[in-house]
Amino acid sequence: MEYRYKGANEKMRNALARVSPGTPLRDGIDRVVRAKAGALLVLSDEPDVLSICSGGFLVDAPYSPQRLSELAKMDGAIIISNKGGRIARANVHLVPDPTVPTSETGTRHRTAERVARSLDVPVVSASEEMGVINVYAGGEKRQLQEVGHLLERANQALQTLERYKTKLDDGINNLTAVEVEDVATLRDVVAVVQRGEMVHRVADEIETMIIELGIDARLLRLQLDELYEEIDDELDLVVADYMPADKTAEQAMSDMSELSDDDVLNLRVTADVLGRAGDNDDLTQEVAPKGLRFLRRVKRLDVNIADAVANHFGGLAKMQRATLDDLMSVEGVDEAMARSIRDTLTRITESTILDQY
């Protein structure tokens, strides 16, 4: 499944994928740790990386876990090709920009962070005494965890995701009910978007754990895909139903991903992101949906025609009262399509009312 959440650090995820369990690179790193040896690996042999290398020797040999563990017995850094298929150099001294800030104290980890930040390349460091493996990429640091502990954390996160998903479903069902009755408020809409963003954030963290777990995450992947299925499309339609003309749903969801957790939980801040900055003092005010979310449930209805229908009637309430002739007056809507739209809207209304009782 493809995740569109904008908060993910893709460079870090790519680096984690390269060192996940089951990969040759992780096998080599684990051998180094088991041998109580340290290692500093730069996962790029671009000219910028080679320009800060001093001393050492040229290897230019196919990568293998055995070669890596043997070369790590020397103190210097090891340069591995971008695709991981070759060991370029070994026992080199790295001279990164000393002005690059770092929070690390150990020499190996400090050098690793400075190289990663200054050259924007993935770097892995393994400490000799503690056996701690750190990955630096995309301006972030992530300490690799033992598989069992990471699986436990991921399962706890899945339980959290399930709770948030239940709250989101309840919010969407409530929004549908008030939309049918034409009494939706800004608070109803904001609550759905807010819960959707929290689902995105938890799912995003689980996705990163799955990448880090590699071959050990098959069951987690199935569980996440089942929970996360179709959330993006549903939220996009909720947002699109209430967005002003000068902002798209995609822009709004991207802006939401950049908020802090505290701001996401603030209903008024979320209302601002939805383009309702002038309305956020009154979250109880009634708002009217365009009806796009309901129209999406009409089978074989083209997206452009759905937009044309929504724009023609200017709101769900008028669309619900439309006759077949009214619907057929929209360009591209024939009698069969008009009947399908009307039947779908009627079915949604009736099922929603029945669910309430």
pLDDT score recorded for residue 18 = 95
Domain ranges across the chain: 10-144, 148-273, 292-356
Topology of domain 148-273, per CATH? Answer: Ferritin (1.20.1260)
- pLDDT tens per residue, range 37-87: 899 999 999 999 999 999 999 999 999 999 999 999 998 999 999 988 999
Residues 10-38, mean pLDDT to the nearest whole number:
94
CB 124 within 8 A of CB 29: yes
- pLDDT tens per residue, range 108-123: 999 999 999 999 999 9
Distance, in Å, from the CA atom of 111 to the CA atom of 115, rounded to the nearest integer, reads 6
CB 328 within 8 A of CB 278: no
The helices-and-strands tally (H runs, E runs) of the chain is 17, 8
- Tell me the β-bridge partners of 92: 77
Which amino acid appears at position 295 of this protein? L
Please determine whether the domains at 148-273 and 292-356 fall in the same fold group of CATH.
no
Q: Give the β-pairing of 77-80 and 140-143.
A: unpaired
Burial of 273 (0-12, 13-18, 19+ CB in 10 A): buried
Topology of domain 292-356, per CATH? Answer: DNA polymerase; domain 1 (1.10.150)
C-beta neighbour count of 261 within 10 angstroms: 9
pLDDT score recorded for residue 3 = 45
- pLDDT tens per residue, range 229-280: 778 888 889 999 998 877 788 888 889 989 999 999 898 898 888 876 555 5
The first and second tokens of residue 34, run together, are 């088991």
C-beta neighbour count of 351 within 10 angstroms: 12
- What CATH class does 10-144 carry? alpha beta
- pLDDT tens per residue, range 186-230: 999 999 999 999 999 999 999 999 999 999 999 999 999 988 877
